[in-house]
Amino acid sequence: MSVTNSRKRFLSFNLGGVITLFLVILAGGVVRSSGSGMGCPDWPKCFGCVVPPTNISQLPADYKQKYVAGRVKKNQRFAKTLDALGYHDLANRIREDKSILIPEDFNPAKTWIEYANRLVGVVSGIFLLLTAIYSFNYWSLNKGIVLASVGNLILVGFQGWLGSVVVSLNLVPWVVTVHMLLALGLVALSIYTYHAAKVNGKPKLQFKGIVWTMTILALILTVTQICFGTDVRERIDEVAAHLQGYRQDWVSRAGGIFTRHRDSAILVLIINVALYALIRKGYSRHSVHQQLMSFTFLMIMLQILSGIALSYFALPPYAQATHILISTLIFGAQFYLLLNLYRTANMKEVKA
């Protein structure tokens, strides 16, 4: 196979990796909003099966005790890791957490939701593996493409492990935030390698003044909003544990973090409107810059609508998953805009 064909395959696999990473984030949002994280209590199989069971009669009588024991063992290992890092108090809290001893009843819907999430994750992993393999065709052109592709493959393995920790632990809210930030890191690395390959591995590094600064600011605000969102989700989980059937009261009990998340959305809108105006003024209507900002602005409008649905319609699960997906799409578009600003030779360049 020629180098040219191999590089074309790299771009195809890389693009597939980007798309499936967004699907993994969507699937993860569905799992979290539906409470399906323990739908499959073991890994890589699900209740010891390649194809998950559909009826409780397919499970052994002692399945609850078996998988609670497995969860306890996993948490104990994580506690040892925290001890080694010096977080002794947190490690002891995990060891003393009695809530993990409460077994969950088998729910076929939650089982298949979690199983579907794993299948999407496997497909994404395959794309990232193929991307890493074919990235070596760029070694002589841009070693950063190879290092980022291989690093992404390693990172996705760590992310999978951390995901299992997220659903196993009840006392470590920051793990959810780290899990989300790592997902953004995976997306960013995949977008970077795709962009670098598209521009033949040699992006032009040029400072673009106010447009560059505003794009950086918009990107930072988006990441901050996503972190606020994970904190809100954690707070909602705490409230929900005490107000089991009263979803309409969860938002009002979430406290200041929800208010900060809502109010900072106004700042996000203002900064992106200003950036949109700068992009319209400085770049051609058909440039990739305007296309990305138009897409970002559309996503922000949809994000606001999904936020309204969450606030006023008792946190419907579909809106939660949509809210998470849209926020990562905004991040992806802004990051790709930033990379294109890097390579712009002049303010009127329209070529992607």
Q: pLDDT tens for residues 265-274? A: 888 899 999 9
Q: How far apart are CA 4 and CA 284, in angstroms?
A: 31
**Do residues 226 and 136 both lie within one domain?**
no
pTM of this structure: 0.84
Average pLDDT over residues 328-334: 95
Query: Is the per-residue pLDDT at 61 higher than 50?
Result: yes
Helix, strand, coil % in the chain, rounded to nearest 5: 75, 0, 25
**Do residues 101 and 218 both lie within one domain?**
no
Confirm if 196 and 203 have CB atoms less than 8 A apart.
yes
Query: Is the per-residue pLDDT at 278 higher than 80?
Result: yes
**Do residues 21 and 109 both lie within one domain?**
yes
pLDDT at residue 56, rounded to an integer: 86
Domain that holds residue 106: 1-202
pLDDT: which is higher, 100 or 207: 100
Give the C-alpha distances (Å, rounded to integers) separating 331 from 1, 105, 184, 344.
36, 37, 8, 20
Give the H or E element holding residue 180: helix 173-198
292-308 residue pLDDT tens: 999 999 999 998 888 77
Average pLDDT over residues 182-190: 95
pLDDT at residue 271, rounded to an integer: 92
**Do residues 215 and 182 both lie within one domain?**
no
**Do residues 217 and 349 both lie within one domain?**
yes
Which long-range contacts (C-beta less than 8 Å, at least 24 apart) are formed by 213-216? Answer: 214/271, 214/274, 214/275, 214/278, 215/275, 215/334, 215/337, 215/338, 215/341, 216/338
Chosen domain end from 202, 236, 253: 202
Q: Which of 172, 173, 192, 174 is nearest to 184 (CA)?
A: 192
pLDDT band of 341, cuts 50, 70, 90? confident
pLDDT at residue 204, rounded to an integer: 57
**Do residues 254 and 181 both lie within one domain?**
no
pLDDT at residue 348, rounded to an integer: 40
Residue length, the chain? 352
Chosen domain end from 202, 229, 264: 202
**Do residues 188 and 333 both lie within one domain?**
no
pLDDT: which is higher, 56 or 165: 56
Confirm if 251 and 311 have CB atoms less than 8 A apart.
yes
Query: Is the per-residue pLDDT at 71 higher than 70?
Result: yes
Give the C-alpha distances (Å, rounded to integers) separating 103 from 41, 56, 66, 99, 167.
10, 14, 10, 9, 13
**Do residues 189 and 208 both lie within one domain?**
no
pLDDT: which is higher, 54 or 258: 54
Chosen domain end from 170, 202, 234: 202
Average pLDDT over residues 163-178: 70
Residue 171's CB is within 10 A of a number of other CB atoms, namely 13
**Do residues 331 and 191 both lie within one domain?**
no
Range with the poorest average pLDDT among 15-19, 87-91, 140-144, 320-324 = 87-91
**Do residues 70 and 96 both lie within one domain?**
yes
**Do residues 164 and 278 both lie within one domain?**
no
Mean pLDDT, all residues of the chain: 82
Range with the poorest average pLDDT among 40-54, 212-226, 330-344 = 40-54
If one counts the domains in the chain, the total is 2
pLDDT band of 203, cuts 50, 70, 90? low
**Do residues 246 and 145 both lie within one domain?**
no
Confirm if 19 and 186 have CB atoms less than 8 A apart.
no
